[in-house]
Structure 1
Amino acid sequence: MTATAPSTTRTPADECPAAAPHAGLRTLVVALEQLSRAQREVSAATARALDVSRSTLAAVRILEVCGTSHVGDLAEALRVDLSVASRNVSALLEAGLIERTVPDDDRRARVVSLTPAGHDLAARAQTTIERLTVTSFADWEADDLDVAAHALARVSETVCQIANRLATDPVTAEPHRPPGRTA
């Protein structure tokens, strides 16, 4: 009988404490999944209203906040691979929403920044999002909005930390096996 090396494949269960997760964590996961799906739909509707793609809208909004950015930094902010960001940059250049320049301090690098048309799109997006947000949360008390904003910022920071860790230390799921079947 030959001994086999223990598997180094980790599963999501390996990331959980030995005890069953608190019911609040399960509720949080479900709420985050629902929020993610709803946010994707709202983002798509906003992009359609502005006659751009979701990826264009995301990149323009990030560049509006960050200003001039290396393509790699933009990829990181978008949470996409560099090749995806490069294709996005090409589309933004073609649409006249950004310009690409070579910085004086590093002639090998390329940086991108919004053109006046890009700034205009970012402003229209901000107006659209603010109008939707004001309407959607009109019946919320100011204190409730503050509490929700702080809690959501904290949740977002934690989820981003998880995503950053998983980018360098991936967790794999166990394969699904129908009941009664063995490997």
Structure 2
Amino acid sequence: MSYDRYVAICHPLHYTVLMNRRVGPMMAVMSWLGSSINSLFHTVSLMHFRFCGPLKSHPFYCEFPAVVKLVRGDITAYETTVCVSSVLLLLLPIFPICTSCIFILHSVTQMHSAGGKRNAFATWSSHLTVVSLWFGAYIFSYMRPRSKRTPLQGEVGSVFYSIVTPTLNPLMYTLWNKNVAKALRRVLGRDVIT
């Protein structure tokens, strides 16, 4: 999404060339492949541990931080690999996203038309809001030391990045659309969105 927003705002005339029919699916496949490999790694790693006590997990679905609490034995090596995978899958993507944001902001400030600035900023800000919500909740859930985690915080974080953020995505991306804003005004009967 960041690359798409970057190309749309910084290189609008080259958009169809840079975002051709092969680029989008290739980026999606790479994203799915990376997350699938990461999930497979964590699943296989956790299957090799011995578990103790009542096998009850507090979160509403079974994530590896909740499962790790049930492991008997030393999990220091596993926690190191979790930290490394979190850095690779969370912090590494933040750098290109931030870089694209800097380029977009520079392009927006160089625009001469007020309408163009408003449209570009609307496109960029909705994406930045969604990315910030998702990465913030995910980092809150996975990048904290085990001693600082509580079951309630884990549940709130996982609900936020797995339910709240995806639910807000369509809303964030469509509220800037004039037709959607008009329809929302008609439904609500007043001028809610400016």
Under a length normalisation based on structure 2, what TM-score does the superposition of the two structures give?
0.30
- The structure with the largest helix share of the pair is 2
Under a length normalisation based on structure 1, what TM-score does the superposition of the two structures give?
0.31
